[in-house]
Amino acid sequence: MRRLPTVCFVTDETPHPALENDAGISCVGLSSILARTGHPVTILYVPDADRPGEGFREWRRHGAENAIRVVPLVGDGNREVRAGAAARRSYLVYE
């Protein structure tokens, strides 16, 4: 039997339909479909520095309901990255 590819979504969006954020809603839909068809799916939640814990609860609920692994990005607050917020988060994901 052929093994299905593992999929990882990296997002800072909150999966809440009332917020009408295209990336968050797209991630919810696609991750659910892939998980239902047997793909191992992980969502790496990368919170915005201005809203550190906001949204993780919703992602955890979505993951539990759809057999999706949800992991928050925990960065090294001591590491200095001289760049904008998006570049800092990208570097932390890379590490």
Q: For 52-71, what is each residue's pLDDT tens digit?
A: 566 677 778 888 888 999 88
The share of the chain scoring above pLDDT 90, in percent, equals: 17
pLDDT score at 61: 83
- Kindly report the number of other CB atoms within 10 A of residue 47's CB atom: 20
| Six token digits for residue 55 | 């949204």
pLDDT score at 17: 55
| Six token digits for residue 87 | 């570049």
**Which residues of the chain register pLDDT less than 70?**
1, 14-22, 48-55, 75-81
CA distance linking residue 39 with residue 44, whole number of Å: 16
CB 25 within 8 A of CB 58: no
pLDDT score at 41: 94
pLDDT score at 35: 94
CB 93 within 8 A of CB 43: no
